[in-house]
Homo-oligomer: A and B are copies of this chain.
């Protein structure tokens, strides 16, 4: 699989954000071959068509669609490039986390690393042009870079992300609360990194220095599911990912994800999805969007 890495020194100085239109870097964009990146990516379509396969979602592209992609989410694009107009915004986590004392800020945003909700938002004209105004300002700033531009760019990015988070949370009926539930976001971060190795909930509670009961309360409040359900979602996601994007067989996948036996994995998968891992893989390979 292709990996695109962030170009830190594109503008002469080290800058962990980039903004532009699709036409600025047409060779990067809209590959139909499976690929991922090491940065966050927002894409704003003024005009669009076709669809995107992002992790295990199929997303139809229409005008005013905004796509949210987190680092290492796998994707393939299927669209007619000649009919696309879009802006992109890439950034690396440290562009924000180096300056914010809240190191979890991007994890608090509902649209990053969300395993259950759609990774896009279709917005109305008014909001889309508000966003485009911010993007235009970002474009000017990055093209006439000065010593204080990084602050202006970060302020605009911060504003845009939090507005998008509000709109996203409104639309999918999630909590837009980002303040008082650090436990929930820290759990999400640790789970993201460790779920393929550890599924013991006590382990996570211990890592966070709280009881299992408190952890459960925090997760329920923020994400509306129990800790077990969230762990299951994350494992299921890993299994689907390996079924879709690798040629590993069920035994190998079980081994990699620490299932003691392959039939435990198969039973888990069937209970969660209603179909067997094999059926899922076949459906994926035949291009059906079983996921």
User: Which of A's residues lie within 8 Å of B, judged by CB?
Assistant: 98-102, 146-148, 150-152, 154-156, 158-159, 162-163, 165-166, 175-180
Across the interface, which residues of B come within 8 angstroms of A152, CB to CB?
A: 159, 162-163, 166
A121 nearest CB across to chain B (Å): 16
List, sorted by A's number, 6 A–B pairs whose CB atoms are closer than 8 Å: A99-B100, A148-B166, A151-B178, A155-B159, A158-B158, A159-B159
Chain multiplicity (copies): 2
Across the interface, which residues of B come within 8 angstroms of A178, CB to CB?
A: 147-148, 151
Cα of A150 to Cα of B156 in the assembled complex, Å? 15
Instruction: Give the top 6 A-B pairs by smallest Cβ distance, nearest first.
Output: A155-B159, A147-B177, A155-B158, A151-B162, A101-B101, A148-B176
Residue from B101, B148, B156, B166 within 8 A of A100 (CB atoms): B101
Cα of A105 to Cα of B156 in the assembled complex, Å? 17
Task: A151-B178, A152-B162 are known; give 9 further A-B pairs, CB within 8 A.
Answer: A99-B100, A100-B100, A147-B175, A147-B180, A151-B162, A154-B158, A155-B159, A155-B162, A158-B158
Q: Which of A146, A148, A156, A158 has the most CB of B within 10 A?
A: A148
Across the interface, which residues of B come within 8 angstroms of A148, CB to CB?
A: 162, 165-166, 176-179
A151 with B147: CB separation less than 8 A: no
Across the interface, which residues of B come within 8 angstroms of A180, CB to CB?
A: 147
A176 with B146: CB separation less than 8 A: yes
Cα of A158 to Cα of B162 in the assembled complex, Å? 14
